[in-house]
């Protein structure tokens, strides 16, 4: 005690203070330069973001690398990223490829060309194109976030993935509006609800989807990771581009391709449910099906888009960055909608299943009755509870 009063510190306390100062100094050291180079490479503290991990560019020997922290890099190599996510995509591919392929074949060759059929054909095509790019993402994640297919295919895969996913959302919106007109305004909409009008609408939807994903093809998407023998595709992007270019892009994408369609679908399906409720028990099956359609849309697409919206609207999320892995899992779950579409919209139709059975298990002459789908519900005066 006398020593402390005279201004002197015991030797043990001096050692503790020195050790504490050394720890503080070493904690600020970034271990990016594990390979000796003539250039000093440093980067500020960066945490994962929901859409893409922001990295710092560094050009070494005419090669542009991206730099990220070791803690951030460990999330790229986590079990969730390199095992769970590719397993989910594999399951989607194995289920969605045959189901959408069969649905598209039946709709194009065995179904009468109604308005609802045209929309369903395009929806099956969009789901099928989305599923066909999944093998590239499966190999990418199983290889430990290593993209071996080149920059061009990285841009194309990224554009196809987002383009066909949001194209499906826009087509589902058109289908909901078509069903709303068929149920709530059947006589008013009869003059323009034609297969030709539906085909023109689908053409506009495909052009909109292409325009929405065009910015992804104009920016570099793959970068080698400094200090690791991997090339990342769209998972790590330069910080200045993520905060600027992609901020406006993904905000516009969420507003135009998810929020606005979701509001339209909620209005359409709620109106359909209300109209069917006034019709009595005869349409109880259609009411349950409509509720199921609305539930699948919200359950599959909402989580990933909400996480994306929260990230770009809150600066705190960029600071704490706990949402990246959660967003990637929710993005994989959203593609399950491509598997659910055939079962919810096609296979619930008894006549659809009958046509498939006749094609594969019998050769009886088919009648001229059109294929009934669950997408169009018109009040019928016949005794049969029809979904068309």
Per-residue pLDDT tens digits of the chain, which is 388 residues long: 444 444 444 554 444 444 444 444 433 333 333 343 434 444 444 444 445 566 677 777 777 777 777 766 777 778 888 899 999 999 999 999 999 998 898 888 877 788 888 999 999 999 999 999 999 999 999 998 899 999 999 999 999 999 998 999 999 999 999 989 988 888 888 888 899 999 999 999 999 999 988 888 888 888 888 877 888 888 877 766 555 567 778 788 888 888 899 899 989 988 888 888 877 656 667 777 777 888 888 889 888 888 877 766 555 445 444 577 888 899 899 999 998 888 887 776 666 777 777 766 665 544 444 444 444 443 333 333 333 3
Instruction: Output DSSP code: residue 16.
Output: H
Q: What is the pLDDT of residue 305?
A: 85
Instruction: Output DSSP code: residue 133.
Output: T
**Rounded to the nearest 5°, which phi and psi values hold at 109?**
-115, -25
- pTM of the predicted structure, to 2 decimals: 0.76
- Pairing label, strands 53-60, 236-238: parallel
List the domain boundaries for the chain.
66-360
Determine the 3-state secondary structure of 62 from DSSP.
coil
Which among 248, 334, 337, 303 has a CA at the least distance from the CA of 50? 303
Q: What is the pLDDT of residue 52?
A: 56
d(C-alpha 167, C-alpha 209), whole Å: 5
pLDDT in tens, 87-142: 999 999 999 999 999 889 888 887 778 888 899 999 999 999 999 999 999 999 99
Q: What angle do CA 168, 172, 176 make, to 5 degrees?
A: 175
Tokens coding 238: 């330069």
Q: What is the pLDDT of residue 86?
A: 94
Q: What is the dihedral of CA 175, 180, 186, 187, to 10 degrees?
A: -100
The mean pLDDT of the chain is 75
pLDDT in tens, 13-55: 444 444 444 444 433 333 333 343 434 444 444 444 445 566 6
pLDDT in tens, 182-191: 888 888 888 8
Q: Are 223 and 55 in contact (CB under 8 A)?
A: yes
**Rounded to the nearest 5°, which phi and psi values hold at 233?**
-120, 105
Contacts of 328 (CB under 8 A, 6+ apart): 80, 81, 85
d(C-alpha 169, C-alpha 267), whole Å: 15
d(C-alpha 388, C-alpha 376), whole Å: 5
d(C-alpha 119, C-alpha 277), whole Å: 25
Please name the CATH architecture into which domain 66-360 falls. Answer: Up-down Bundle (1.20)
Q: Are 105 and 348 in contact (CB under 8 A)?
A: no
């Amino acid at each position: 005690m006398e020593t402390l009063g005279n201004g002197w510190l015991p030797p043990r306390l001096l050692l503790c203070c020195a050790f504490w100062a050394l720890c503080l100094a070493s904690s600020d050291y970034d271990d990016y330069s594990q390979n000796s180079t003539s250039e000093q490479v440093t980067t500020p503290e960066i945490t994962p973001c929901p859409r893409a991990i922001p990295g710092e560019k560094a050009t070494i020997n005419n090669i542009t690398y991206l730099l990220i922290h070791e803690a951030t890099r460990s999330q790229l190599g986590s079990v969730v990223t390199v095992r769970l996510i590719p397993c989910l995509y594999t399951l989607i591919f194995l289920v969605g490829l045959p189901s959408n392929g069969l649905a598209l074949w039946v709709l194009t060759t065995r179904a009468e060309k109604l308005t609802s059929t045209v929309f369903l054909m395009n929806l099956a095509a969009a789901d099928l194109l989305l599923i066909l790019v999944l093998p590239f993402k499966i190999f990418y994640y199983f290889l430990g976030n290593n993209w071996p297919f080149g920059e061009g295919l990285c841009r194309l895969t990224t554009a196809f993935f987002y383009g066909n996913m949001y194209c499906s959302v826009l087509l589902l919106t058109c289908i909901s509006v078509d069903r709303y007109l068929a149920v709530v305004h059947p006589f008013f909409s009869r003059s323009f609800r034609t297969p030709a009008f539906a085909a023109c609408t689908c053409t506009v939807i495909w052009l909109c989807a292409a325009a929405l994903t065009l910015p992804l093809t104009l920016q570099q998407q793959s970068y080698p990771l400094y200090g690791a023998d991997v090339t990342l595709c769209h998972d790590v992007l330069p910080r200045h581009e993520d905060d600027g270019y992609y901020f406006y892009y993904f905000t516009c994408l969420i507003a135009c391709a998810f929020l606005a369609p979701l509001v339209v679908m909620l209005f359409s399906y709620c109106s359909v449910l209300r109209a069917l409720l006034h019709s009595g028990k005869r349409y109880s099956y259609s009411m349950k099906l409509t509720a199921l359609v609305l539930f699948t849309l919200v359950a599959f697409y909402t989580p990933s888009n909400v996480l994306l919206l929260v990230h770009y609207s809150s600066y705190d999320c960029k600071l704490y960055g706990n949402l990246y892995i959660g967003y990637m899992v929710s993005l994989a779950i959203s593609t399950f909608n491509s598997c659910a579409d055939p079962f919810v919209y096609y296979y619930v139709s008894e006549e659809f299943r009958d046509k498939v059975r006749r094609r594969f298990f019998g050769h009886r002459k088919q009648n001229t009755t059109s294929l009934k789908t669950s997408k169009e519900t018109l009040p019928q005066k016949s005794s049969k509870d029809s979904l068309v």
